[in-house]
Amino acid sequence: MEDSLAGMARRRALLGYVFLLPTFLGILVFSAGPVIVSLGLSFFAWNV
């Protein structure tokens, strides 16, 4: 019986991560993405 309870808990935890994944991907793309791109572009000289 403990195995089934542990498996159910693991499934519920995995399901929680699945629901949180789009949020974390959105934060990564729209927050960390521009910071990383800006850091990369700062190494080049741009004539504006």
Alpha helices in 1-48 (DSSP H): 2-27, 33-41
The length of the chain in residues reads: 48
**Residue 35: predicted pLDDT:** 94
- Cα of first residue to Cα of last residue in the chain, in angstroms, is 68
What does R_g of the chain's alpha carbons equal in angstroms? 20
Whole-number Cα distances in Å, 40 to 1, 18, 34, 35, 46: 54, 31, 10, 9, 13
- Tens-digit pLDDT string for the chain (48 aa): 556 888 888 999 999 999 999 999 999 899 999 999 999 999 998 886
Structural domain total, the chain? 1
pTM above 0.85, yes or no: no
pLDDT of residue 20: 95
Q: Which domain holds residue 23?
A: 1-48
pLDDT at 3: 67
